[in-house]
């Protein structure tokens, strides 16, 4: 074959492969055997989390033909036959799957010193036909591709791209999705052995104004094993100017990782997560789950500002915390009523209510209680993004867990309300009889009895109710309403952000 430009599918492929490669496979085992007759047999087994997969591949080479047969755990048989030099500088590839009889296709590739052309057709009636072509040199090449459906007589795709390749770097720009998207990528090898690389990718979809920036670094260091980190930035360059940022890394020898996530360019929050090599460990509040490299943040043309202007208020989370019996749920209901009377939309996430559905699978063990808080925090964030005033009413005894929920929202949109009620007052009320049962040893790990409560050190609102009888709920609700009013949450004008930062 000539040493000309690569195929159109090679444009941006190196960067894409590094960005989408799965670096979290737990175990992979492969055995290959070869015979003098040209037959090679390869068996591969993979364990990823709790999923096991295996396949067997047989390869036979005869003159200018290569036969590959692969059988996987789903009993799918993939057969590929490759013929090289059937004509000068030409390769033909035939492939099909069993039992999927409609999966067969024929591909013909032609290579020249300054061009590469491919034509692919499905082996069925009224097939789909794909044609690609590239022109240039091994250093710089221009290419295009088109897909045509012979049954509907319509083009299924038409894309174009340009690629520049150097020994230590490569760059590409691809106009895809029938001209609706553009993607630019750059890969730079950090050492001569090409075992370490840094990648940057910028993607924009014009029809939805979706913008994604991906930064990636991969290192294969003998001392610590493999290390990979991804950073996804999805800014909506429209009116809201939101920024979503996350960064993760993984090490095969040291099961630790770092992840950053922030919203808006003026605030960046830090999380730390634990990752295991041989088993999955769920991240607790204050930590985050690893985001798969194939998942991107999809922005919507209707922004948070648009939703807030529609209902004339600013979305936020009012997080009411305190001991059991301190009046959290009562305040939440009174506050919701007060906001309703003002024509403002709110919703209550009550600690008991969410355990009837969303968190019904969680127990009251420490790790499940932490997960309960994390889930409520994520749901509350969605309510706030919808422009709704979300009232979360939970004991939430840990400062760390509350801080993690606060970090999910833009600066100022998490309003912590501490029901500062002494334990003896809460125990005297005991509306559910839980303190009595905890004192009798029937309930273990009850907050305030044999499990500590960490009061807020710097919350937005403190409501003290040190008397044995309840203070007026309407008065307590008015304290919160006044705070919302003074800080602009009860009118849409306050949602306009300063875009100069």
The answer, yes or no, to whether residue 184 has pLDDT greater than 80, is yes
How many distinct helices (H) and strands (E) make up the chain? 8, 24
Whether 235 contacts 213, CB under 8 Å: yes
Q: Say if residue 64's pLDDT is above 90.
A: no
- Known catalytic residues are 396
CATH class of 304-495: alpha beta
- Summarize the confidence of residues 230-238 as an average pLDDT: 41
Highest mean pLDDT among 31-40, 59-68, 93-102, 175-184: 175-184
Q: Are 290 and 257 within 8 A, CB to CB?
A: yes
pLDDT at 286: 38
Most confident residue range from 37-41, 237-241, 330-334, 454-458: 330-334
8-159 and 304-495, same CATH topology: no
Scored b (16 or more CB within 10 A) or e, 134-151 reads bbbeeeebebbbbbbeee
Are 318 and 391 in contact by the 8 Å Cβ rule? The answer is: yes
> What is the pLDDT, as a whole number, of residue 226?
47
What is the model's pLDDT at position 344?
96
The confidence score (pLDDT) of residue 37 equals 72
pLDDT of the residue at 27: 63
Closest to 238 in 3D by CA, of 147, 304, 307, 317: 304
Instruction: Please list the residues that pair with 340 across neighbouring strands.
Output: none
Q: Which two tokens stand for residue 168?
A: 């230590």
**Residue 161 or 102, more confident:** 161
**Average pLDDT of 135-153?**
91
Q: What is the DSSP letter of 276?
A: -
Instruction: Determine contact, residues 202/192, Cβ cutoff 8 Å.
Output: no
Instruction: Kindly indicate the confidence band of residue 467, based on its pLDDT and cuts at 50, 70 and 90.
Output: low
372 touches 359 (CB < 8 A): yes
- Helix (H) or strand (E) holding 485, with range, is helix 473-486
Confidence of residue 281 (pLDDT cuts 50, 70, 90): very low
User: Taking 50 as the threshold, does the pLDDT of residue 265 lie above it?
Assistant: no
Alpha carbon separation from 78 to 69, 99, 144 (Å, rounded): 6, 9, 28
pLDDT score of 235: 42
Q: What is the overall mean pLDDT for the chain?
A: 78
So what's the pLDDT on residue 230? 47
At 414 the pLDDT is 96
Range 456-465 average pLDDT: 88
Residue with tokens 């924009």: 204
* Secondary structure class of 407 (helix, strand, coil): coil
pLDDT at 246: 35
Q: How confident is the model at residue 448 (pLDDT cuts 50, 70, 90)?
A: confident
pLDDT at 156: 85
Residue 439: C-alpha distances to residues 363, 400, 442, 445 (Å) = 20, 27, 8, 11
Q: Which residues pair with 103 in a beta bridge?
A: none
Is the pLDDT confidence value at 202 over 60?
yes
Q: How far is CA 229 from the centre of its chain?
A: 14
Question: How many beta carbons lie within 10 A of that of residue 407, not counting itself?
Answer: 21
In angstroms, rounded to a whole number, what is the distance separating the alpha carbons of residues 144 and 122? 20
Return the top range by mean pLDDT from 8-22, 56-70, 283-297, 404-418: 404-418
pLDDT at 331 over 70: yes
How high is the pLDDT of residue 52? 65
Q: Is the Cβ–Cβ distance between 311 and 37 less than 8 Å?
A: no
Lowest mean pLDDT among 89-103, 317-331, 341-355, 413-427: 89-103
> What integer pLDDT is reported at residue 451 of this predicted model?
86
What is the pLDDT confidence band of residue 82, given thresholds at 50, 70 and 90? confident
Q: Exposure of 67 by Cβ count < 10 A (0-12 exposed, 13-18 middle, 19+ buried)? A: middle
Helix then strand then coil, % of the chain, to nearest 5? 20, 40, 40
Domains of the chain, by residue range, sit at 8-159, 304-495
pTM for this predicted structure: 0.45
> Which CATH topology does 8-159 take?
Porin (2.40.160)
Percent share of the chain, pLDDT over 70? 76
Q: Round to whole Å and give the CA distance between 262 and 283.
A: 18
Query: Which pLDDT does position 289 carry in this prediction?
Result: 47
Contact (CB, 8 A) for 265 and 241: yes
Q: What is the mean pLDDT of residues 158-182?
A: 93
* Residue 330: pLDDT band with limits 50, 70, 90: very high
Could you tell me the end-to-end alpha-carbon distance of the chain, in angstroms, rounded to an integer?
A: 54
478 falls in which pLDDT band (50, 70, 90)?
very high
């Amino acid at each position: 074959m000539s040493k000309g430009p690569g195929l159109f599918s090679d444009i941006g492929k190196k960067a894409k492969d590094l960005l989408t490669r799965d670096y979290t496979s737990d175990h992979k085992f492969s055995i290959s055997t070869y015979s003098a007759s040209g037959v090679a047999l390869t068996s591969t087994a993979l364990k990823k989390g709790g999923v096991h997969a295996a396949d067997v591949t047989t390869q036979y080479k005869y003159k200018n033909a290569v036969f590959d047969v692969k059988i996987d755990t789903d009993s799918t048989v993939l057969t590929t036959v490759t013929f090289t030099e059937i004509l000068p500088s030409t390769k033909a590839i035939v492939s099909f799957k069993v039992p999927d009889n409609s999966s067969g296709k024929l591909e013909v590739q032609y290579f020249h010193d300054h061009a590469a052309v491919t034509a692919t057709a499905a082996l069925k009636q009224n097939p789909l036909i794909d044609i690609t072509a590239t022109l240039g040199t091994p250093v710089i090449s221009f290419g295009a591709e088109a897909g045509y459906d012979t049954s509907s007589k319509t083009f299924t795709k038409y894309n174009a791209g340009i690629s520049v390749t150097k020994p230590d770097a490569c760059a590409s720009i691809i106009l895809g999705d029938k001209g609706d998207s553009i993607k630019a990528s750059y890969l730079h090898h950090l050492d001569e052995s090409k075992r370490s690389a840094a990648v940057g990718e910028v993607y924009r979809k014009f029809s939805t104004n979706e913008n994604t920036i991906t930064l990636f670094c991969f290192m294969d260091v003998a001392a610590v094993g493999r290390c990979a980190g991804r950073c996804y930035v999805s800014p909506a360059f429209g009116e809201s100017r939101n920024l979503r940022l996350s960064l993760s890394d993984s090490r095969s020898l040291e099961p630790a990782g770092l992840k950053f996530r922030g919203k808006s360019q003026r605030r960046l929050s830090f999380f730390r997560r634990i990752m295991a090599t041989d088993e999955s460990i769920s991240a607790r509040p204050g930590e985050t789950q690893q985001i798969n490299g194939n998942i991107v943040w999809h922005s919507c043309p209707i922004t948070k500002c648009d939703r807030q202007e529609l209902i004339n208020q600013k979305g936020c989370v009012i997080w009411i915390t305190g001991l059991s019996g301190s009046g959290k749920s009562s305040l939440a209901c009174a506050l919701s009523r007060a906001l309703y009377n003002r024509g403002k939309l709110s919703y209550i996430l009550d600690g008991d209510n969410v355990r009837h559905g969303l968190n019904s699978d969680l127990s009251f063990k420490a790790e499940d209680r932490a997960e309960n808080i994390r889930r409520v925090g994520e749901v509350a964030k969605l309510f706030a993004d919808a422009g709704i005033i979300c009232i979360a009413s939970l004991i939430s005894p840990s400062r760390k867990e509350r801080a993690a929920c606060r970090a999910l929202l833009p600066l100022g949109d998490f309003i912590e309300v501490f029901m500062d009620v002494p334990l003896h007052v809460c125990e005297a009320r005991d509306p559910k009889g839980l303190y009595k049962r905890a004192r009798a040893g029937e309930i273990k790990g009850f907050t305030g009895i044999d499990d500590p409560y960490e009061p807020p050190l710097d919350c937005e609102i403190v409501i003290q109710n040190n008397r044995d009888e309840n203070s007026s709920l309407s008065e307590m609700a008015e304290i919160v309403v006044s705070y919302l009013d003074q800080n602009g949450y009860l009118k849409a004008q306050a949602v306009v952000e300063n875009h100069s930062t």
